[in-house]
Amino acid sequence: MKTIIIEDEDFAARRLENMIHDCDISIEIVATFPSVKESVAWLKTNPHPDLIFLDIQLEDDLSFAIFEQVNVQSQIIFTTAFDEYAIKAFKLKSIDYLLKPIVKDELCNAIKKYREMQLPMQQTIDLSSLFNLINQNSVRYKERFSITVGLRIKTFTLPEIAYFYSTEGISFMVIKNKSEYPLDESLEELTRVMNPKDFFRINRKYLVRIESIANVHIYPKSHLKLELSPLPKEEVFVSIDKVTAFKKWLDHK
């Protein structure tokens, strides 16, 4: 069986790839893609695999955009961090899913199911209905974070937060007073639950609050370097493919 992984978080993609091989070493992972654009380009020029593991929220769009451009011939297992309401929608539409963080036993069971199918099953996806359910009902923006610090629980409200960043698969919340705290949520999950009017995912590692941007420096070839407050431990650039959207976000804000 051949499969591809469409997932915009490097750590999540590698973890899923390792677990797939743990479940069934004979599965060939043909490719991994982080975006709608790259996935569409590949699917238009290559034979479709037996199975696709498809994240819902990719770096450039919701993955439903893939189906608008390609008649996908593969079976789909969605990987999602959406809440219980959206999961019920998946069940009603008879779409397979794995809730993040993915549990290996559940992954192995899903793969086994496809292995045991005698004939290819026609998977009917009411994309429009499912998209509307997710888009309208599953997003609830966070207003505060509770962090365990030693034997105490500290609560931080949005005005105290400067930005979030991820390193080695761990997400951190940086406070205006320069303190930072590890979080259980991935940067992908944080991007989904933070109000997009205030926060923007500038690249794979940083989700920034507009008030934390002290200056924007313009470099050749449309590169944008951000000066954040408090200062991060590294230089921070806006991904080239996000520059246009970032400028629009600044204007609308």
Residue 118 has what pLDDT?
47
Angle of helix 10-23 relative to helix 104-116, nearest 10 degrees, comes to 60
Residue 179 has what pLDDT?
93
Residue 207 has what pLDDT?
96
> Could you report the per-residue pLDDT of 211-242, keeping only the tens digit for each?
999 999 998 877 899 999 999 999 999 999 88
The reported pTM is: 0.53
Q: How many CB atoms lie within 10 A of CB 167?
A: 12
186 Cβ contact list (under 8 Å, min separation 6): 9, 11, 12, 81, 100, 166, 171
Residue 131 has what pLDDT?
63
With a cut of 70, list the residues of the chain below it in pLDDT.
81-96, 117-140, 252-253
Residue ranges of domains in the chain, CATH in brackets: 2-137 (3.40.50.2300), 144-252 (2.40.50.1020)
CB 76 within 8 A of CB 56: no
**Distance between CA atoms of 238 and 205, rounded to whole angstroms?**
10
Structure tokens at 85: 């309401």
